[in-house]
Structure 1
Amino acid sequence: MTSGRKLAIQEIPDLTAGALMQLMAQQPEAVLLIDVRYLDEYRVAHLPNANQVGFPALQKGNGIGQIKEFFDQQQRQCSQTPCQIVVYCTAGVRSARAVSLLRQAGLPAINLRGGLRAWESRYAPAKGIQVLAPAVLPAL
């Protein structure tokens, strides 16, 4: 399910859009989605149930604390299954850097290979799975 790409010296674990979809279908409670794009980008479109924490906030350090809080909440909901933090951006570059920061902080983060573009190309609206804007997010 995961492979990896080199970024600097550290191995960055990642997964494909297909692997993410499978994980979300089988164990939705075990996936914490983090969108590290700017808020304006997030407002245009994002993955269902994603939390927005911009990459600049992660670089400054305060975003890591916010993600830790999200992760702690998610872990309480999935006591039987290990939770994974899946990080994405537009193409996978910012998110790979974010994964590196999160892993240095001790969090189990994985990069969505190819980012939102990979998701959109794999799950285009013609296939019935869309990238959602906040106004049309389904209620859980």
Structure 2
Amino acid sequence: MSAPLGGGPASSMPEVTAQEAVALVGDGAYLLDVREQSEWDEGHASRAVLLPLSELAERVDEVPSDRDVLVVCHSGMRSMRATAALRRAGLRAVNVEGGMLAWRDADGDVVSDGDARPTVD
């Protein structure tokens, strides 16, 4: 793992690689997707929970405080911001380096809502 889960001050940015995230989610880790609904609809990890970054401040209480939370977006930029905000709120958030692009490249599952073929481009 790139950084230990949970440890360190809120100013540190713990990260896991996409390969590590795929394995952790397979073991039951909580995966928070902070992309927008339209991006989610095109393709997302099957075990992810959608909470757009634009809604995070109002809905932070929906994020579990009793476990590590892996945070993913499209390429890793929004998830870094979300991870920092969640850590400032006292949550054990960890950024997924490279976002859904890296998740896809690491052979993570990608599903879509509806009949469309799932994509993450």
TMscore range, shorter length: 0.7 to 0.9
Partners of 2:46 and 2:2 in 1: CA distance = 21
User: Which of 54, 59, 70 lines up with 2:52 in the alignment?
Assistant: 54
**3-state SS in 2 of match to 1:64:** helix
Structure 2 residue runs without a partner (length 5+): 5-9, 116-121
For 1:38, give the aligned amino acid. Answer: E
Structure-1 residue corresponding to 2:2: 2
For 1:108, give the aligned amino acid. Answer: R
Task: Show structure 1 runs of 4+ deviating over 2 A.
Answer: none
TM-score by length of 2: 0.81
Structure-2 residue corresponding to 1:63: 59
Question: Is 1:107 matched up with 2:91?
Answer: yes
For 1:10, give the aligned amino acid. Answer: S
With a CA cutoff of 8 Å and minimum separation of 6, indicate the structure with the bigger relative contact order: 2
For 2:37, give the aligned amino acid. Answer: L
Q: 1:49/1:130 Cα in 2 relative to 1: closer, same or farther (>3 Å)?
A: closer
Give how far 1:135 is off.
4.6
| Cα offsets for 1:63-93 (capped at 9, x unmatched) | 21222xxx16xx5xxxxxxx31001000000
Give how far 1:130 is off.
3.1
The structure with the largest alpha-carbon Rg is 1
Greater share of residues in helix: 1
Structure-1 residue corresponding to 2:14: 13
Give how far 1:52 is off.
0.6
Q: What percentage of residue pairs aligned between the two structures are identical? A: 29
In the alignment of these two chains, the number of paired residues is 110
**3-state SS in 2 of match to 1:10:** coil
Q: CA RMSD in A?
A: 2.1
For 1:50, give the aligned amino acid. Answer: A
**3-state SS in 1 of match to 2:110:** coil
Greater share of residues in strand: 1
TM-score by length of 1: 0.71
